[in-house]
Homo-oligomer: A and B are copies of this chain.
Amino acid sequence: MPARQRRIGVIGSSRSSPEGARLAEAVGGLLGRAGAILVCGGLGGVMEAAARGAAAVGGLTVGLLPGTQAEDANPYIALPLPTGLSYARNILVVRASQALIAIEGSYGTLSEIALALALGVPVIGLNATYEDPKIRRAGSAQEAGSLALAAAGEAG
């Protein structure tokens, strides 16, 4: 029984800005190199960029999909998990993650942040749309990855 890898969620818009995509890909790469599992919603934008970054360095990528078709996952998702739960899959992304990195994002992302804060899952904001005293702000992809990995480590 090897020790379990840390599970870090990356959340954000399916229509990210170029800067958001760049940050997400860098974060994915950092998480993959650190041996963490990338958890996300499996679709485009921030989710796809983060998965691309993680997959490029051999990291495991998990996509919790709102729909019923594995084919909906972006091509960098190694493990597509269709849920058929629509927006209720957001809570699964939160529960699956020991820490979350929020990159930009809109109301869907805010719902995940709020659920995470309600449940005590650490949230790191990177170029984040929303502010809250409980969101730790990172100034770079490097810092976001380090904060998330440290928080997940604490989470055990």
Nearest neighbor of A86 in chain B, beta-carbon distance: B84
Is there a chain B Cβ closer than 8 Å to A124's Cβ?
Answer: no
Among B82, B95, B106, B114, which residue has its beta carbon within 8 angstroms of that of A107? Answer: B114
Interface residues of A in 80-124 (CB under 8 A from B): 80-88, 90-92, 95-96, 98, 106-108, 110-111, 113-115, 117-119
Interface centre among A68, A83, A117 (most CB of B within 10 A): A83
Among B4, B70, B118, which residue has its beta carbon within 8 angstroms of that of A87? Answer: B118
- Check A85 against B88 for contact (C-beta < 8 Å): yes
The interface size bin for chain A is 35 or more
Chain A residues proximal to chain B, CB less than 8 Å: 1-2, 4-5, 7, 37, 55, 60, 62, 68, 70, 75-76, 78-88, 90-92, 95-96, 98, 106-108, 110-111, 113-115, 117-119
CA distance A14 to B88 in the complex (A): 21
Which chain B positions have C-beta within 8 A of A85?
84-86, 88, 92
